Structure 1
Amino acid sequence: MKKSIINLAVASILLPVFAAPAVADDLNIGGSVRANYSYSDYSESSKDKGGDFDFNLVSITFADKWNDIGVKAEYRFYDGYDHLKYGYAFWDVNEDLTINGGAISKPFGNKGYASHNWWYSLNYYMGFEDDYGVGVSAQYENGISLSEFAFIKNAIYGGTDHRDFAGTVAKGTVGDTSYNNEETNTLAGRQSFTLTNGELTTIVGASVEYGQLYNSEYGENGDTFNYALHLDMNYAGWGLQAQYLAYDFDQYDDGKIDPDKIGMGMLGGFYEVASKGNIYTANLSKNIATSWGSLTVYNDFSMVQPDVEEFDDSILNTTGVSIAYGPLFIYVDHYMAKNVLWLGGNSLGLVQTDDDWDHRFNINFAYYF
């Protein structure tokens, strides 16, 4: 079934290509090669070796457009697995309205990204930043108003295949607990307004999503209801992002799980998170133009606050700088985390194993072509 979904998404990209004229209006094929250095104080092997330097990924991007119809796609190759990040066809109905179909972005939360750094924010690992699914969407822009709506039938992979790009409720086992949920039939919407006053640009908005959580083992349904309020401000190179997000993954209780926890998969991993809570985000940045390129200095903060008294907050603070020089793009980050998945912890918003702060120094090198 999942292969059929992927084939449908790929077909939505390729069929217009084969039907197109021999000469396209705007053909663009590119991609990136990336490597990563990290030093983690919570890993004895990392400390013993003075850190780790590894291949990160190779990506291939494709974009084409003729008249009012086009396609976009990105496929990524990591060490040990590969996956489709997105791939969709679009139709510019007029200068205000665009329709998309395929493996599309979910319109939810801060427009673009809720972070500046390579690791993203905790929203990403909960499925609320740079998230994608198979479905259709529409964007309607009228003056200062941008309205975005989407119906997402399924995750791009989901099920027991945990290659989805952002956190996705899925099937899997953690310890002795098995989860049998799938995200399906999700409605998502984001309304934002862009206000300008001289050098000051302010984007204010709100997002909401409601969807089905299908338990394939028992043929029963749960649901998810999430909403967010978000703000992006820019003035003379300074940037401020803020977001409040409330989420609730109300899964079917088969009597074998703790309903206060739910399983999620992404990038080949599977983990547990608190099934209900709030996420707070606050980011400050400064972009500096130079004669050779640009750099952005930032501090990104995000926190998952579970709605269970016995659980503990997950906190991530990232201080760093990104450097753009021609085709090169480099992130230099310091992550300070408490109770955070893959940064010294193994979950989000659950009981922390200790009260220590974990630290990771990270440099990601990317060459874009």
Structure 2
Amino acid sequence: MLSSSVAFAQSDEERLQQLEERIQELEQEREQAEESEDGISLGGAVRFQYVLADYDEGQKNRGGDLQLDIFRLNLDGQINDVILSAEYRWFEYMEALRHAYFGYNFSDEWQGQVGIIIQPFGVMPYNSHNYFFNSTFYVGLEDNPGSGLLMKRRSDNWDLDFALILNDELGGATGDVRSRADSYNYNIVGIRLPGEGIYDDPEFTASENNTLMTRIARKWHFDDSMLELGVSGKFGDVDDGTASVGSQATWGIHSVYETGRWEFHAQYARYDYDLDIENEGIMVGAYAYYDTIPTAADVITANVAYSYPVEWGPVSQLQFYNNHSIITNKRGYEEDTWMNVLGMAVTAGGVFTYVDLVTAQNQPFINGSLAGESTGTQTRFNINFGYYF
């Protein structure tokens, strides 16, 4: 009996030792896996574009034009829990930084970012589904970078964003850049003086400065749907490089509803630049040219999209959408700006394609300007296709 008890005890000790060794092995594997997460990955895209516009007679006679859209590179990852994210874009006519920031996850829900961040406002990450965004993009209220600090919380029920934007991504009115028009999104570059043309280069330079932003969105989850309701605010200064020349305030309400394969967006925003000098609007710059926007306006958007999974060779998903936006109640300008984009996005392996039919009035990139007074509409058929890696 004694020898049998000793044998059982030895067997238990051996099993316990084996178990402890296995636990140590698993712990080492876990630590190695965590260490392997450190590193910066390189990605990017190469995109091309086919354009056929009814306002370009020569292009219509040629049957449209095919051209390079962009080549872009992305850096994303982390080293010792410090996050890096950056994206740079090259066009045939300019180059521009979209964003570049360091970040840190303070918890599972809270993240801080510093650098050139994406400003939090409205429906995010995009208030659109198409290649041209909505008209919100052209007044700096969609996917707009800025230099500053961001604290954000993401949970199942809440989105909370608090940001301080010191100036735009080009360094403000005195930024040391090649051209204030070479930027990814629309920045204030000056004040349009009486008698100037809407596309003239800036004579009176200015930029947004010391802007506080907040975005709060509440989400409700149901069996097969989700409702998000939110508010956003943006308040700050307008500076000419030496002193304040006015202030700016923007607020908005927004919603997202997802059910099954359907997605709906709705947003209303009002922006207002209160300037101390006589003017005919705000001068903005982007994509290598200068334009003008009213100093105040209402911006309304409504989007619907339907996603449909398929198995057609490399094609895995189709998304059909209609995005509509209008800018109205413009200070100093009578005619509205509006844009409607009816389109389809196609996912096929690493290739992503937008097929868009755009109808618009007084809309940039559709032969117009937000400061235009046209009463007619223009149409553009656009196919943008790119390989993402």
Scaled by the length of structure 2, the TM-score of the pair is 0.83
Given that residues 215 and 222 in structure 1 are in contact (C-alpha distance below 8 angstroms), is that contact kept between their aligned partners in structure 2? no
Q: Does 1:166 align with 2:188?
A: no
Matched, 1:300 2:323: yes
Alpha-carbon distance in structure 1 between the residues aligned to 2:259 and 2:35? 45
Code of the aligned partner of 1:341: P
Deviation of 1:52 after TM superposition, in Å, equals: 1.1
How far is the alpha carbon of 1:309 from its aligned partner? Answer: 7.0
Q: 1:200 to 1:363 in 2, by over 3 A?
A: same
SS of residue in 2 equivalent to 1:229: strand
Q: What do the CA deviations read for 1:24-76 (whole angstroms, capped 9, x no partner)?
A: 52532110000000001011222121111111010000011134321000010
1:180 aligns with 2:201: no
Q: Which runs of 4+ in 1 moved over 4 A?
A: 21-24
Structure 2 SS opposite 1:180? coil
Counterpart in the other structure of 1:333 = 356
Give me the whole-angstrom Cα distance separating, in 2, the residues matched to 1:162 and 1:351.
19
Residue deviations 1:257-284, cap 9 Å, x none?
A: 32xx111111222101111010000001
SS in 2 for 1:47: helix
Distance 1:199 1:26, change over 3 A: farther
Match of 1:235 in 2: 259
Q: Is the 8 A contact 1:315 1:339 kept in 2?
A: yes
Q: Report the secondary structure of 1:178's partner residue.
A: coil
The aligned residue for residue 68 of structure 1 is 81
1:98-118 CA deviation, whole Å, 9 max, x = no partner? 110000010111121111000
In structure 1, what is the Cα distance between the partners aligned to 2:74 and 2:272? 34
Contact 2:309 2:318 in 1 (8 A): yes
For 1:129-156, what per-residue CA distance to the aligned partner results, in whole angstroms no more than 9, with x for missing partners?
A: 0001111100124551221011011111
Structure 2, unmatched stretches of 5+, are 1-33, 174-178
Aligned to 2:373: 352
* Correspondence for 2:105: 92
Work out whether residues 274 and 306 of structure 1, in 8 Å CA contact, stay in contact via their aligned partners in 2: no
Contact in 1 for aligned 2:93/2:288 (Cα 8 Å)? no
Q: Are residue 190 (structure 1) and residue 182 (structure 2) matched?
A: no
SS at match of 2:203: strand
Letter in 1 for 2:134: S
How far the C-alpha of 1:23 sits from its partner, in A, is 6.3
In structure 1, how many angstroms separate the alpha carbons of the residues matched to 2:156 and 2:377? 46
1:219 aligns with 2:219: no
Q: Which residue of 1 aligns with 2:65?
A: 52
Between structures 1 and 2, the one with greater helix share: 2
Question: Is the contact made by 2:116 and 2:148 (CA closer than 8 Å) also made in structure 1?
Answer: yes
Q: Once superposed, what is the RMSD of the aligned Cα atoms?
A: 1.9
Give structure 1 stretches of 5+ with no counterpart. 1-20
The aligned residue for residue 16 of structure 1 is none
Shift of 1:164: 2.4
Q: Secondary structure at the match of 2:206?
A: strand
Q: 1:7 aligns to what?
A: none
Show the counterpart of 2:38: 25
> TM-score, length-normalised on structure 1?
0.88
Q: Which has the larger radius of gyration?
A: 2
Determine the C-alpha separation between the residues in 1 that align with 2:355 and 2:134: 15
**1:222-301 equivalences in 2 (<5 Å):** 222-253=246-277, 255=278, 257-258=279-280, 261-291=281-311, 292-301=315-324
Preserved CA contact (<8 Å) 2:330 2:336: no
SS in 2 for 1:340: coil
Distance (Å, rounded) in 2 between the aligned partners of 1:39 and 1:201: 38
Q: Closer, same or farther in 2 for the Cα pair 1:215/1:27, shift >3 Å?
A: closer
Count of residues in correspondence between the two structures: 341
Q: Distance in 2 between matches of 1:42 and 1:163?
A: 25
* Cα distance change, pair 310–83 in 1 and its aligned pair in 2 (3 A): closer
Instruction: Give the corresponding residue for 2:9.
Output: none
Segment drifting more, 134-143 vs 317-326: 134-143
Aligned to 1:136: 149
| Greater displacement, 293-302 / 60-69 | 60-69
**Are the counterparts in 2 of residues 181 and 251 from structure 1 also a CA contact under 8 Å?**
no
